[in-house]
Structure 1
Amino acid sequence: MNETEASRTQGATISRAQRILDALPAIVCVLDLAGPRLTGHNAALVRALGCTGEELLSRGVEALSARIHPDDLAGLAARAAELAAARDGGVVEGELRARTIEGGQEERLFAVRAEVFTRGDDGAAREVVVFAEDVTARKRREQGGPRRDALLAALCDRAPVFMYAKDRDGAFLLASRSMEDLVGATPGSMLGKTDGDFCPPEVASIYKDVDDLVRRNGAPFEAEEIVPQAQGDRTLYTIKFPLRGEGVPEGAVAGFSVDITRVKAAEREREAARDELLAAQQDTIRELVTPLLPIAEGVLVMPLIGFFDGARASRIIETLLEGVERHSARIAIIDITGVKAVDVQVAEMLVQSARAVGLLGAQVVLTGIQPAIAQTLIELDVDLRGLVTAGTLRSGIAYVVPVGQARGGQEARHARRE
């Protein structure tokens, strides 16, 4: 291999090594202690400092020092002296705080590892290679672990809701104090046990089916459930969901339940009050739609308007019979002047009203029959026997008032049957 080929091969090897270094997420640089200056670096350092490669080679130490916390920067001289005296393979490790372009103004914590890279003719360390890894997130997790555990313990002891977590076999991994109180368990005694240890078999089977459903669907499940208690059933609103994360067993399920017994009782009370209000409104509407007016002793008038359906026809008959009985009426005038049309249903209602009133010992007088309605009644072949008819309400009143006043049984005068 000639010199040109050897040089080309060496250049390719160096380029390959540089690409490997640039692919590393950790910062790597080579520091010439005599300068001091940077003689090599990877892309991670460029990203961290926001400088170009050329700038790092010319003023890299200055740019790097400006990012390091002053208190940590002061200790680097001692570390450099320690490295200068280190044997081959000796490593100096530590931590330092620095701000990076990627981190904005936030101070980051780096784990730093340095060792001798090259030595001079006198054997003293000339260059050192430095590796720096951002460990900010890891340190926060490590420091936050005990605090999170304390918070979780306090939450489980004090939370007014029921909290729990189970493994794939249904054994409790976590149970709040409120959950233990609900099933009558002593503190900590639910861990490792299942619903079957605290609930009837049929109830435990339902809980297991829901847990399995959550595992299969991989999505939260919401429902209301009834929990039998000696002092009375309690209604819980429950949300169950898959539990995943570092250190969480595969197939774990967690849940929160809120006691809504009082809320449901209040809802029932509101519904009952609403039903009472609707019933009162219906009574009022019924009275307005089917008014019954006493106009003289023993005489009632029911003026009808609009259209009729089966429900309204039934209310008319019901109101009429109640009024006849309540007022001890002998005559009931039904005025249909305001009725838009008469069909079979209306005609049957009129006949039924007359017959029903007759069973109570009273008589129906039908007034306000318009020519078109009269023709319809004839075409329908309606049997109006038992009904006294009058052309107008006024003539009907003139006919019946004497009868109402003569409740001793005298014959009605001027009676006209049509």
Structure 2
Amino acid sequence: MANTSAEELERALVVLQATADALPYSMFWKDMSLRYYGCNVLFAAQAGLATPAEICGRDDFDMPWPRAQAEKFRADDREVLTTGVAKPTILEVLRVDGEDRWVETHKAPLRDRTGALLGVVGWFHDVTARKLAEEETARAHQEALQELATPLLPVADGVVVMPLVGTLDAHRGAQATQTLLAGVAEHRAHTAILDVTGVRTIDTHVIEGIVRAARGVRLLGAEAVITGIRPPVAQVIAGLGIDLGAIVALADLKAGVAHALQARRG
């Protein structure tokens, strides 16, 4: 009878291991001292082991991932053991074959039939492709927002307009300069109009940046026109003694476009 029980137990363990190996996730389980006493074939391969049996008795510091990662994994394990509550959807980095991969990990307390804690069980899957796609989407979204924040509009042959709206800080000022100069070159513009009518807040550094941008336009062989300078901004420019030089300053965008069209006819 004892032999039959041993055979049944061995068969149950074989079935359990086969079940874990069939899962599309990397799976492992640890004891209360956070030493591994089992895993499936996917996890064993990622740990550089020939078979799951080789992991028994090892801890995370015996694994190929860096020590900082091992400490992070063990901290999550201890939290699960301390609270007795599962810790799902942990987004973390795992070093596999010398390459850092994003993985989504789930960890839960491992209990016996009486509810006593035996250790922790975890499983994870590679989400690197999803993470990179999300980052690319976020980057594209940010670039789109930046383009909307500093649009460049070709309004006639050889005439481009950049209307600025809202608060203009040093970052947006630098971005506007880059977009403006690139647009002048791309559209082969003879006149570039920088309209600041909608700008609510502007400081001295930004004013100096706008003037530098206008001078850059002239270096590209185009005429620079600034429109919509309101009295407070004009006072700041005058107070700073900033020389607009050959930069044309007009009251509003309508006057700026008329000036550009007149220049083209000339």
TM over 0.5, shorter chain = yes
Judging changes above 3 Å, is the alpha-carbon distance between structure 1 residues 371 and 185 closer, same or farther for their aligned structure 2 residues?
Answer: closer
Q: What is the identity, as a one-letter code, of the residue corresponding to 2:253?
A: L
Question: Deviation digits for residues 206-245 of structure 1, max 9, x if unmatched?
Answer: 6799779978996369676736459997958364758779
Describe how 1:62-77 pairs up with structure 2 within 5 A: none
Query: Partners in 1 of 2:236 and 2:38 — Cα distance?
Result: 78
2:57 to 194, 197, 222: 194
Aligned to 2:94: 226
Aligned to 2:262: 402
Aligned to 1:37: none
Question: Deviation digits for residues 53-106 of structure 1, max 9, x if unmatched?
Answer: xxxxxxxxxxxxxxxxxxxxxxxxxxxxxxxxxxxxxxxxxxxxxxxxxxxxxx
Moved more, 386-395 or 236-245: 236-245
How far apart are residue 352 of structure 1 and its match?
A: 0.9
Aligned residues: 247
Aligned to 1:162: 27
SS of residue paired to 2:214: helix
Aligned to 2:174: 314
Q: What is the identity, as a one-letter code, of the residue corresponding to 1:377?
A: I
Query: Partners in 1 of 2:240 and 2:18 — Cα distance?
Result: 80
Q: Greater relative contact order (Cα 8 A, min sep 6): structure 1 or 2?
A: 2
1:300 to 143, 153, 160: 160
Judging changes above 3 Å, is the alpha-carbon distance between structure 1 residues 287 and 405 closer, same or farther for their aligned structure 2 residues?
Answer: farther
Query: Partners in 1 of 2:100 and 2:193 — Cα distance?
Result: 57
- TM-score normalised per structure 1: 0.45
Question: Deviation digits for residues 265-307 of structure 1, max 9, x if unmatched?
Answer: 343244134224414xx33x44443333334332223333333
Aligned to 1:106: none
Alignment check: 8 A CA contact 1:354 1:387 kept: yes
Judging changes above 3 Å, is the alpha-carbon distance between structure 1 residues 255 and 234 closer, same or farther for their aligned structure 2 residues?
Answer: farther
1:258 to 117, 123, 131: 123
Judging changes above 3 Å, is the alpha-carbon distance between structure 1 residues 323 and 229 closer, same or farther for their aligned structure 2 residues?
Answer: closer
- TM-score normalised per structure 2: 0.65
Alignment check: 8 A CA contact 2:150 2:163 kept: yes
Is 2:242 aligned against 1:379?
no
Query: Partners in 2 of 1:384 and 1:372 — Cα distance?
Result: 16
Aligned to 2:105: 237
How far apart are residue 311 of structure 1 and its match?
A: 1.9
Query: Partners in 1 of 2:66 and 2:175 — Cα distance?
Result: 51
Bigger Cα Rg = 1
Alignment check: 8 A CA contact 2:81 2:120 kept: no
How far apart are residue 321 of structure 1 and its match?
A: 0.6
SS of residue paired to 2:229: coil
Aligned to 2:248: 388
Query: Partners in 1 of 2:243 and 2:204 — Cα distance?
Result: 11
